[in-house]
Structure 1
Amino acid sequence: MSLRPALLAQLLSFDDEAFVALANRGLLRRAYKDLESNPPRLLEEGAEHLLLECGPYQLRFDPRGPAFAQCSCPASGVCQHILACALGLREILAEQGPPLAPGAEPEPAPDQRQALLNSLLTLPHAELLKHGGKPGYRWAWQFVMDLDLEQELHLGGEHNLTLTLGTPPLTLRYMGGPLGGMLADQRSGALEKYQVAAVLALRRMQGLELIAPVPLGGANAESSPTLREATRSRLRQGARQLLEESVAVGLAHLSQAMQQRYVTLAVWAQGADYPRLALSLRRLADQVQLLLERAAGADGQRLFDELSRCYALLQALTSAAQRGEEPARLLGQARSQYTPSTALELWGLGANAWRSASGYQGLSLVFWSPAQQVFLSCTEARPELQRGFNPLLRYRNPGPWSGLLSPGHASGRRLSLMGAQVNGDGRLSVAESVQAAVLEPLTAAQWQQLPAAADWSALLLARSAQRRSLLTPARPMNDWALLQPAAVGTVQFDSTRQILVWPLHDHQGATLWVELRYSAYTRHAIGRIEQVAGEPWIEGSQLVARVYEHAGRLIAEPLSLIRADAAPGQPLLDALHFDLAPATATPLAAVDEALDSPVQEVLLPSCHLLPEFAGWLCQQAERGVDPQVASGVDQALQQRGLTLRAAGYSAFERMAPEAGVPARLIIAHYLCLQYQHLQAAGGDIPAS
């Protein structure tokens, strides 16, 4: 591509937010004023550069775009003249194209966003390695492998390509040109590794293989057990010492040297086959870097929370090593592994289409395994940029396994899978080698074998028992449940939040709220629920739903309805997101208004002592523990611990009195987080 088209393609992708990321909002305002009073003038055009004049200064643009433009003014970096010339040059170059309306901004070509995506996907591996360096590429590769694409990668942008990745989020904008021209919404001294990570994340999103970095030398998982444990012991001791030193110095006073120590320990932990510890240390390194840069995403509270969880993980790993154990839930996994199964019987519970904030859309099927007595799922997902995939139409098309006419044929039926593969999170692989045989529809007797929840308080206690410790990994399939309400209330649609709300009552009068946010994917389900709520509720009917906690109460997201009054020849399972209403459905006017009397909600407990104590601990950690004030902090910590123990929080009796004050602050904060986690989950506070 010649100089003019290459520059014009980039300039058309620059909107105001991109120019702000290139410089700042104040310089952009000055640039617009300069553009009105003294528009730039093209002086010279060469094969590889354009020379422009803006007032008394001359500027040079090349095919790399505005991020690499040079100005003769004394300002360092990107100045207002570069912005003014970029805005003016866009109009100059666009004059050869279609005429623009007065005051209108030229629009990029319809396929410009796809062209930007293809440009990043086709970058050679050698260029990524050169841009980030070997350490930067190694960090970026591991960062992307640990990334939850559905939760921590957001793809967007209208005129350009924006990627928001990680926690805390960092937004990168790409308008074309070399990778170094990718801009970040926050100033970062290590931008190159994030630019490489953005490209690798896009490739992983597209299902492309990522080239692993060259492994580091030294002890790793293949070393002898004695040498590996010696290495891990030194690692745990070094990490624990760094965490305590961070609190002693003060989280608000950390240095770049300490941030580099976190990075080094994270690489060491990865080599010692401690993936979960490596991920925690990388998060701490990123948080410290944000604090050093005074970035908008910096948060001392979040840093102290992550530091406390990392300290507890180190303690748990040390205790397990002393017992000669290596529990997988503490070590973690670098990547999810699927376990093959010869034969697996599944009961289809329905499906739903969805779209994530990260730009993914997909279709998820939910099953019950009668042999394992657990919920399993199978998901097909694609980026929205990938054409030809519609999750709503996918429900009626063949697959996802050989022998299955469509996902719709699995709902309400028994399936037999040969060669199925299941990972630890209860997700089924969609490998083509899996063979599916559709058996007869499920009978009423078989549906009654599923464990149903009819008491919302018992459901809350069961959920809290599943994850009582902060160190217990989350199991998404444990959120699914079969609900059997005694009665239902009137369905309503909250127009402010765009959410359907439907109360379910148990025999004790407690309420569990069904909520479903409106979208193109849930529109059919919302209409079906309004029809179901308009019918008299039949005792014994059940609802398949995902149950979670939000704003202090339990919420259920419905998937399917199991009808207790299904007519002969009609299926018992009503897939709310796809099935049509049965012919026996009654109009909405048949709602029983008596069910809308005030009832008791299942609310989650709260306490003001823990947040106050956690806030005080965070203040001390940010301030630091100077040796001259350590005794005073220790006395205050003991006094506050006595107050909490008197209130029933007896775990504060075991705060390791032999440890130093920084370590005790960390332990106390972790106990606060653990208690708050138990209370939020509705669990009983342990007595000891």
Structure 2
Amino acid sequence: MSPLIPLYAQIDESALEAMASRGIVRRARTDAANVRFESMGAEEIVCKIEGATVRLDDKGLAKARCSCPAATTCRHKIAVVLALRTLAGEQQAASAVEIDWLARLSTFDRKTLQSAVGKTGLREAMRLLALAEATTVEAGKLTLKVMLRLNSEDIEVAIPAQGDFTSVVSGLPERRRLASHAAAILAARGHFGLEAITFDEAEAVADQKEFVPDALLLTAMQDAVRRAYAQGFAFPSRALEERLMLLAVSSRAEAMPRLSASLRRIAEGLEQRRSRNVNHDAVELLREIAFAHALLHAMSQTRDDGRLRRLAGTVRAEYEPVGDVDLIGLGATLFETMTGAAGVTAHFIEPTTGRRFTASLARGTTHDTRFDPRAAYRTQAVWGKTLAELSSAAYRLSGAHASSTGRLSLSQASRADAIQPFRPNRELVTAWAQDRNGQLADLTYMSWPILADYLGRCFAPSLDRPLLSAQPVILVPSRIAPVTFDDLTQRLRWPLMDVSGAWISLTLDHDDEGRGLGASRIAALEAAIGDGDNKRPFAIVAIARPEGGKIILEPIALWGETQMSLDFPDRILRQSTDVVSRIMAGLRRRVAQFAPPPPADVTMRQTTQLLQAGIDALISFAEAGLHGSARERLLAPLAKTYQLASLPPLAQLLLRTIESSESDISPTALAAAQGVFTLQSFTSRLQVWT
């Protein structure tokens, strides 16, 4: 009998379900009878099932190979394991001997875990455990099943009764297994009362003092990033993804968290491209590769210690204690992502400092269909209260923890106290806007040119700090025009005039079928301001974000005699296609007699199109394998166009790419890409007109 059989016979169904799904295991159970063993040697077991060939060795099921095209653990591998369990005897596989899980988990001490995942991976495991809203640990006959419930997903990991760290299994992509498996082990250790594994402050300070960029590591990262551009678009490979991940999680990379995170994102983008994932975005992949290349170049050339640390990023926990903070709720908004995640985010401001905070409840709907963001907003307790209560209240958050971006930890160790309904009035909000030296000067605006200048600075690109994705602001208009439909942008446009007669437009997305978040917001906004008898709000809370060369503003709450959230109106609005269609038809009939239409910004539109053409050409160049003929066909005409369009820096970058040698083609092309993306970010601005 092959010595490999006991290794696989000990894998029970809990572990198999953690690697795949209950449905796949159920189907594999039927297929197990059709498994045909071709060879059972000491080093490899080879078998066939339904035309697929499965090969097992001593590296475990996670490293098993199958000839089928499945990207994850397939039913063929699981069927073989079930057949081996039958071959070994069910009683032998599921021994009645009680497992001492305390002794088992004590073997995974800090030294063992750090050896398996590295210091960076162990830090990431601690971060994941800290982010978990809940953990469950269930002991089976042969496996300990651990569930970590995070904001956007549930991580399920199975720890077998025997084997080293590599025996731990899950259905996670390979790039995420190390840290997630270590986090599950940490959670299980805590469940059984074992001492927590931590990094003490002295060690963290020592690590920080020891930070010196490793020249060899930077060179290796630079080579991998250049290969990601040169090969990833044309010939994406698992080997390149694994190379990037190994560099990202190496112990030497832990002092450079921004680079580490960027390499992870590149690996993920390449994996999506290789597997032809519907969510793959080639533009975002190129943006990430160009950013990583620029960051690596800057770090290799910088000698200033302060800037070097800013480029590398700060090594710290996801959440840090911020003490007791007094907060005011600005409102809440629902969100949905292309990957299926959905949730609700509440926005808060600390009036004494002007710092913005957020708190989110979210799930990946593909994993948890029972989660309803609207219901969670009204019923799920956060710090002892619901987001519905807190998002329109003034309160003190005791024992608060927050990330560097202002995201608040939902830990129940924090408590919301001294809660009072927040009822903004015109005098209070106007005073905020007029005091340009006050702490809330960057939050509240009565002048749109000042707002445009502030948002331009907020979203300006810089290698020295992470880019801001969104920013809440409060608008105090002197005049509010009716909502209209913009045929050019295919969006709802809500014009607002400031104290000096300047105009801006708030926008709302919609879809022709009258479904989704856009439809409900349209109906809520129409119910609030569409009737002439309704009093108009004196202030609007909006979210600003850069998009396609512009900065857009989306309303989330209206402040008038009462506060109204567009996603959570006080009265239930009728949701149907007919209602939204009727509203849209009325908006299309309105003429621009209340507000001048925004002027056609031809120059900005042409610049945006030129920059997008450059991005498309650089992607096509990579897809062509950086072939010499593609330089003349794709890049040469674009360089001439940029020169004629008074964009000589971009033209020069493209000419350098065209004239570069084979060894320099990738770095010069990435420099050109970073130039295009940087200029695209600088041209993002809020349109203001009179």
Is this a same-fold pair by TM over 0.5? Answer: yes
Q: Counterpart in 2 of 1:240?
A: 222
> Share of identical aligned residues, percent?
17
Give the alignment partner of residue 505 of structure 1, picking from 486, 495, 500: 495
Aligned to 1:93: none
Residues 1:482 and 2:475 aligned together: yes
CA offset at residue 262 of structure 1?
3.6
Alignment of 1:51-70 (within 5 A): 52=33, 70=47
The one-character-per-residue Cα deviations of 1:241-268 (angstroms, maximum 9, x if unpaired) are 5545666789646888766654453244
In the TM superposition, 1:77-116 aligns within 5 A as 77=54
**In the alignment, is the contact (CA less than 8 A) between 2:258 and 2:312 conserved in 1?**
yes
Q: How far apart, in 2, do the equivalents of 1:504 and 1:207 lie?
A: 55
Q: Which residue of 2 aligns with 1:613?
A: 614
Q: Please show how residues 417-496 of structure 1 align to structure 2 within 5 Å.
A: 417-431=397-411, 432-434=413-415, 436-438=417-419, 441-442=422-423, 444=425, 445-451=427-433, 452-453=444-445, 459=451, 462-469=454-461, 471=463, 472-476=465-469, 478-482=471-475, 484=477, 486-489=479-482
Distance 1:7 1:208, change over 3 A: closer
Structure 1, 265-274 or 243-252: larger mean CA deviation: 243-252
Judging changes above 3 Å, is the alpha-carbon distance between structure 1 residues 307 and 334 closer, same or farther for their aligned structure 2 residues? farther
Aligned to 1:321, what secondary structure does the other structure show?
coil
Is 1:667–2:671 an aligned residue pair?
yes
Other-structure match for 2:570: 580
Task: Report the 3-state secondary structure (helix = DSSP H, G, I; strand = E; otherwise coil) of the residue aligned with 2:248.
Answer: helix
Residue number among 534, 537, 541 corresponding to 2:538 in the alignment? 541
Instruction: Tell me the residue number matched to 1:96.
Output: none
Partner of 1:649: 647
- Contact kept in structure 1, 2:120 and 2:250, CA below 8 Å: no
**Cα distance change of structure 1 residues 16 and 147 upon mapping to structure 2, 3 Å threshold:** closer
Aligned ranges for residues 173-322 of structure 1 at < 5 Å?
A: 194=176, 222=206, 228-229=211-212, 231-244=213-226, 252=234, 262-268=244-250, 271=253, 273-285=255-267, 295-297=275-277, 304-322=286-304
- 2:558 is aligned to 561
Conserved 8 A contact 1:491-1:530 = no
Q: Hey, what's the Cα distance between the residues in 1 that align with 2:291 and 2:373? A: 38
Unaligned 5+ segments in structure 1 are: 23-34, 41-49, 61-67, 91-122, 151-160, 185-190, 495-499, 567-571, 583-587
Structure 1 residue 672 displacement after superposition = 1.5
Cα offset, 1:613, TM superposition: 3.4
Corresponding residue for residue 348 of structure 1: 329
> Aligned in 2, Cα 1:504/1:277: closer, same or farther, shift over 3 Å?
same
**One-letter amino acid matched to 2:591:** S
Change in Cα spacing, 1:456 to 1:501, as seen in structure 2 (3 Å) is farther
Q: 1:621 to 1:73 in 2, by over 3 A?
A: closer
Q: Could you tell me whether the CA contact under 8 Å between 2:334 and 2:343 is conserved in 1?
A: yes
| Deviation sequence 1:497-526 (CA, Å, 0-9, x none) | xxx975411235654223479889999876
State how far apart, in whole Å, the 2-side matches of 1:254 and 1:528 are. Answer: 46
User: Compared with structure 1, are the counterparts of its residues 276 and 547 closer, same or farther at alpha carbon in structure 2 (3 Å cutoff)?
Assistant: same
For 2:529, the aligned partner's letter is: A
Amino acid at match of 2:471: N
Measured in 2, the distance between the counterparts of 1:368 and 1:172 equals 32
Displacement after TM superposition at 1:562 (Å): 1.0
Question: Using a 3 Å threshold, how does the CA distance of structure 1 residues 593 and 620 change in structure 2: closer, same or farther?
Answer: closer
Question: Is the CA contact (8 Å cut-off) linking 1:467 and 1:474 kept in structure 2?
Answer: yes
How far apart in 1 are the matches of 2:272 and 2:530? Answer: 53
> 1:53-85: CA deviations, max 9, x gaps?
69xx7899xxxxxxx9955898623699x97x9
- Secondary structure of 1:239 counterpart: helix
Native 8 Å contact 1:534 1:590 kept in 2:
no
Residue number among 366, 373, 378 corresponding to 2:347 in the alignment:
366
1:514 counterpart = 2:504: no
Q: Secondary structure at the match of 2:406?
A: coil
Alignment correspondent of 1:338: 320
1:681/1:221 CA distance change after superposition, 3 Å? farther
SS at match of 1:309: helix
Which of 354-363 and 435-444 deviates more? 354-363
SS of the equivalent of 1:560 reads: strand
Q: In structure 1, how many angstroms separate the alpha carbons of the residues matched to 2:484 and 2:130?
A: 34
Q: Secondary structure at the match of 2:642?
A: helix
Aligned CA distance change for structure 1 residues 222 and 21 (closer, same or farther; 3 Å): farther
* Partner Cα separation in structure 2 for residue 206 and residue 527 of structure 1: 48
Give the counterpart letter for 1:277 in structure 2: L
Give how far 1:317 is off: 2.7
| CA–CA separation in structure 2 for the residues paired with 1:223 and 1:175 | 32
TM-superposed deviation, 1:278: 1.3
Which deviates the most, 513-522 or 347-356? 513-522
Measure how far apart 1:400 and its partner are: 4.0
> Aligned pair in 2 of structure 1 residues 75, 224: CA closer, same or farther (>3 Å)?
closer
Gaps of 5+ in 2: 1-8, 40-44, 55-65, 69-74, 84-103, 132-144, 162-166, 434-443, 573-579
C-alpha contact (below 8 Å) 2:118/2:249 kept by paired residues: no
Q: Distance in 2 between matches of 1:355 and 1:204?
A: 31
1:126-171 CA distances to partner (integer Å, 9 max, x unpaired)? Answer: 7999x99965688876777899999xxxxxxxxxx9x9x9xxx999
The separation in 1 between residues aligned to 2:507 and 2:53, in whole angstroms, is 58
**What is the aligned partner in structure 2 of residue 157 from structure 1?**
none
Q: 1:289 to 1:522 in 2, by over 3 A?
A: closer
Shift of 1:276: 0.8
User: 1:460: how far off?
Assistant: 5.4
Question: Residues 134 and 555 (structure 1 numbering): CA distance in 2 closer, same or farther, change over 3 Å?
Answer: same
SS of alignment partner, residue 574 of structure 1: strand
Correspondence for 1:676:
680
Mapped partners of 2:189, 2:473: distance in 1: 28
1:459 & 1:15 partners in 2: Cα distance? 50
Q: Distance in 2 between matches of 1:252 and 1:398?
A: 47
Give the C-alpha shift of residue 277 in structure 1. Answer: 0.7
Tell me: CA distance 1:148–1:596, structure 2 relative to 1, closer, same or farther (3 Å): farther
Question: How many angstroms does 1:9 deviate by?
Answer: 13
Q: What SS does the corresponding residue of 2:214 show, helix, strand or coil? A: helix
Distance 1:301 1:680 in 2: 17
CA shift at 1:448, angstroms?
2.0
Equivalent pair of 2:114/2:121 in contact (CA under 8 Å): no
8 Å contact 2:186–2:196 — kept in the other structure?
no
The verdict on how the C-alpha distance between 1:481 and 1:142 changes in structure 2, with shifts beyond 3 A counting, is: farther
Contact conserved, 1:10 with 1:177, CA < 8 A, in 2? no
Change (3 A) 1:74 1:211: farther
SS where residue 448 of structure 1 aligns?
helix
- Asked if structure 1 preserves the Cα contact closer than 8 Å seen for 2:326 and 2:394, the reply is yes
In structure 1, the partner of 2:53 is 76
Kept in 2: contact 1:266–1:277 (CA 8 A) = yes
- CA RMSD of the aligned region, Å? 6.6
**Aligned partners of 1:440 and 1:289: how far apart in 2?**
48
Length, aligned pairs only: 564
The 1:199–1:327 alpha-carbon spacing in structure 2 relative to 1, beyond 3 Å, is: closer
Who is 2:577 aligned against? none
Q: Does the 8 Å contact 1:426/1:477 carry over to 2? A: no
